[in-house]
Structure formats: structure tokens, C-alpha cells
Structure 1
Amino acid sequence: MSPQQIFVGGYDDAIDSFVFDEAAGTLIKTHSTLESKPGPSWQHIIPEHRLLLSGCEGPIGEIGYLDSYRFSEDGALTKVDRKECVQGDASGVNTYYIKETGEIVPLQTLLFTLPDGQAGHPDIDPVRQDAAHPHESRIDPTGKFLLIPDLGSDYLRIFEITYGEKGEDSRIKEVEPLVCDTRAGPRHCYFDRTGKFMYLVEELASMVRVYQVEYTGPRGIDFKPIQRISSLGIGKGPADTRVQRLKAAEVAISPDDKHLYISNRYDRSMPDGTDSIAHFLINTEDGTLTFVELTSAGGINPRHIRLSPDGSWICIATQDTNRVAMFKRDLETGTILEEVVAEGQSGQPVCITW
């Protein structure tokens, strides 16, 4: 297999380019840019145009940004454009149209507020839920809806997408949200490849909620809850971040839709004191999860995990260990083999783009 290009964004303000050579067992940093500071915490590739988009978190009270880069075959990044996002002490969503050249065209800015009666409520997390806190945006498999887990509001916010003929005419409109459990803290969501099931990671409760997806009802998409299980496995109830540091983070599903993985931050449950990755089997008929095991994340604070396109590797970014590590994955059983095959150093890595 030919070497593969991987990009890693981190809170040290860098986007690092790595080359993973499976045969040699190496993960080598080839390029790094600081042009996306402050805090390039999320990246997305548009492969057909060789574009990398980077969302940059502005500190509280300062502006965030969306950057676009052209990337070369060796991973070098050339900045194309930068546009402002919602200010760092506000909460909301910006929409943009990305031209083939990498030019970013701003479209909409929609601001969020907490649900009525939530501010100061004794049952919420006073630190993490003092304001709306959108944490991710994901388009559903039909391309008709934009979903945004709002950790602060305990909402999965839902937007209907209307595509314009010119792209720049496209718009989103908010519809009724999916209301989550109190102090769940919805963080990230993921659909299986059939589009029948959605898996929602609850950061503050360290749970994963399974929904059956149906395209019915007043908003055009509906979510039927069918299971809620701890990210630490069977017999564990919801966590409470008011008294615990444990926080579930990322979710990934194998290409065959048979295995689901969740990274757990600060559980320190492994014999060597590292945090864990939870492995679940997926029942492809009804979408339910069966817990298999916890394996080591290879460090502390595994904020992000990403499977290789063929599913044979899992890359784990441990933010507090400043490490990006590559683990072999058994394609049949889904087991993550604990030996680190390759690793690279990256400053506070928080996003892996393969």
C-alpha cells in the first residue's frame, strides 16, 4: 500500500501534515503551518479540489475563523482564503459556499440561546452549560438536513437545507430540535451507512444514545430512541461532570457498519493509567450496541479518533500527551491491537483528517 497523507490540527495553533507508511510502520511529519491560529480544532477535506478547510476557535471574546488551503501531494498547505465566524463569546452557526478555487463565500449567521428556564437550573452543569455550545455540524445521509449537537442546551439542533442553483443561494432554516436528557451534553453524532440509525455521543453523561431515523413528521426527519448505554460499558450509569472529570469525546463506525468506537477522556481505566477507547458491536438489523471491551488510547485525553478508509487502522490523538498514534485493527473482530505501530508528535492534537 502506498503511503497515506494525514492532517492533524491542534491547540498549539498548528496544522501538521503526516505521511503514514504502513509497510515501514512510520508516521512522519512532513509539513506544519501556523497560519490557522488561533486553535485550528477541526479540519475537513474536499478531495476532488484538493482543498482543506479549517475551523479556528477564537478565544472567548475574540473572532473565530474558517480557513481554506490547497494541499499538494506531499502535504504542503498553501492558504487560499479566510473568513470570520461567530465571535468567541457567542454561540451559533455560520454557513458558507466554497468555490472550487478555495474562495469562501459567507452566507448566513444564526445565533443560539439557551432554552427558557435552563440558565441557573440546579440540574445542569454550571460550567459547561452556562450558554448554548454547538460542538459539531453534520449533514444527514439524504443531504436535506444539517444536525448540530448543542452541548450547552441539551439539544440536537436540526436545520432544513435548501440548495440554490448557484450554491451561493443555498440557505438553512431551523426546525424543532431533538431534546436530549438533562445534562447529557450532546457532543458528536454519526450515521451508519444505511442512514437508518444515528449514534449520538453525550459528553457530560458519557453515554451513547442510539436512534432509529425516520423521514416523517412535521420537521421531515424524526429520531426514535432505541437504546442508551454508557461509553464505559455494561452496568455503568450516566456520569456527572459536576463531580467527575470523565468525558466521552469522539465516535467512529467501521466501514462495514459492524463496529462502533468511542473515546473516553480522563477515565484512566487502563492498567498503565491511560484513557480508553470503547468498542461495541453493532446489530445491523436493529442498530443496537453490545459492549465488547475497553482498550488503551495510548495516552491521556483522546479527543479525536479516526479510522482509515479501509478500516484496517485507527489513529488516536491524545491531546494531553501531544501524541498521534496508529494502531492496527482486526477487520473481522474489530479488536484494536494494543501495540502502537507508528506514532508522531503533535502539539495538543484535537482533530485527525485522513
Structure 2
Amino acid sequence: MTLYDQPRLELGSWPTPLVRASRLEARLGLGPLLIKRDDLSGFALAGSKARPLEYLLGDAMAHGHDTLVVGGAAGSNFCQGAAVAARAGGLGCHIVLPGHPPPPTAANLAMAVASGAQLSFSGGPREQLDDRIRDRAGELNHDGRSAVAIPRGGANAIGSLGFARAAQELAEQLAAEGHERARIVMAVGSGASIAGLFVGASQLDARWRLTGVSVSRPRATLIPHVRTLISGCAGELGVAMPNPATLKLNQGPGGLHGDSHSTSNERAAAVLALETEGLVLDCDYTAAAFVVALRQLAIEGPPVVFWHTGGLAGAISSYVTSGAGFAASCTGDRTSGITS
């Protein structure tokens, strides 16, 4: 089955813009730097998560399911997007949260609940959520529902198809800008995004170098996980599996998302992006990849594409809760340490 034969519920506004960061280039004295604006995907605040959700919802509806079961932290962009997408598709949504009630206050969770999502708690850590998601789907099916279990972040073969499709979108945009080669950098949580993009790029014979910056899983765990997703995505499309050794996966410099380990470089990068290009970055997620993108631009050369995956709710919350202390922690030269 080809990519365009796969069932899909259209959610986002595609293509998302590919824009030149001219003011940031002038500040750095480097370029070209291009920003793939999936933060402007146009569906709730799902950002790039709208891409896998289109295929996950399409597949669920094609198989007659009436309920999605997903899981993640209270601030999960995927869970928020899944709840709104399920409502749009006429399905129910159950979200499994780690730990015990009450849930932490989070804008994404509030939006999910407003969309009709029902909550339950795993009683354990986030790392065990996929098992509990399957358990919850089984309980619902026993009670007469037709539930489908979707792993954290939509990280399965079907979810990866969204970014396989995105590869064609980016290829057309880069060609219009006159770029055959490019370095693509994106933050990686569940792994479906980078896996799908890698398969899609390989099918196009794109002359890209892909770097995923892990912010949610230890690199040693992420590598085999992403390779499994690459294999699954290729299998869904009926194509040969590309060599995963050519995909670069880095550990994010500030630790894992949700651990509040963002570094001064990541916070400075977020402020630099805001005050030059008006980009809103999450310090524990997108900003980690942005630091890597700027370093690649400085050390390895242009053109570099930073894939802005979204995370707007969490990013705005960081500014609100940190207040003046956020900017104060980034005083001095915003580029110092970021590009070196």
C-alpha cells in the first residue's frame, strides 16, 4: 500500500511554512537557516503531532474503533492533540497519566478534558505507560467498546506515516528555495517523527543529513526503538528498510523532557529565537534541538533546517511561571556558548 492509499483524517493545514530566519542570521553572521514551522500546523496546539494523528485516526476509523486510548504526562502535546482529534472524528478518548491523582495543572490537559477526554492513572512511572495503555484498552473492550491502544507520542508504524508524507512536503519547499542538500534537525521524543521522515527521505533519495535530538528517552534506549519504527514504517509502505546507521541521534544537552534540566544555553536559545524571529520554543524540548541546529550551522555549515515541532502550551507556561527570572537567567550575549 502506498502512502497515499493509507486511510487518513485530514486535520492540519499543509504545507506548513518553510521560512528563512534572516534576522537571526544577521545576529549570528551565519546562514542560511530555515525554520520548518510545524508550530503553525493549524490543529489545536498539536504542532507536528497533527501529522501522525491524521493517520492514527484514519486507521482507527477504518477499522471501526470508537475509542482512542493514549497516555503521557499532563503537559503532553500528543495527548491534547489526540483528544481534540478524536472529538473531530467522532471517537472517544481515554488518557492514561503516570502516577496517582490529582493530575498536575497543565494547559494541554485542560484542553484535552474540555474536548471530552476521560482520565485514569497508571500508578507507576511514565516509562510504564505503554503497558497501562494496552491494559486500559483491554478493559474498555471488555466493557463493550472498540478501543485502540496508541503508544506514547503515537510511536508506531502507522503514526510514523505522517512524517513520511512530510518528507515530500519539505523536498518540494527546499527545491523551491534552490537547496538540494540540507541538514535537518528536530527534537525527538517518541521517535515516530524522525523515523517517518527518515523513511520518506530515503524513498526520495533526498540529499539530507538528519539529526534527531533526544529529549524524552535515553539515547541508548532511543536508538533501537527508532530502528524498530523505521522498519515498521517501511513495512507499512512496502518498501525496503533504509540503513538506519546513516541517521544521527544525539542526546539533548539538558536532560530528559519533564526533568526541568534545561541549561542556560537552551534558555538563551529560546529567548534568542523569540526576540529575533518571534519563535516560541519550549526550553526542555524544542530549544534543545535549536541549540544543536545553531551549532551545526556554525561548525558544519549551511543550509540547516530547524524543524519547529510546536510545544506552544508548555513554552508559554514556562514564561508565565518563571516570569522575569526566565530572562534574567539568560543575560549577556545570547549566542555565547550556543554556537560553540
Normalising by structure 1, what TM-score?
A: 0.26
More helix by share: 2
If asked which structure has higher relative contact order (CA below 8 Å, sep 6+), I would say: 2
More strand by share: 1
Normalising by structure 2, what TM-score?
A: 0.27
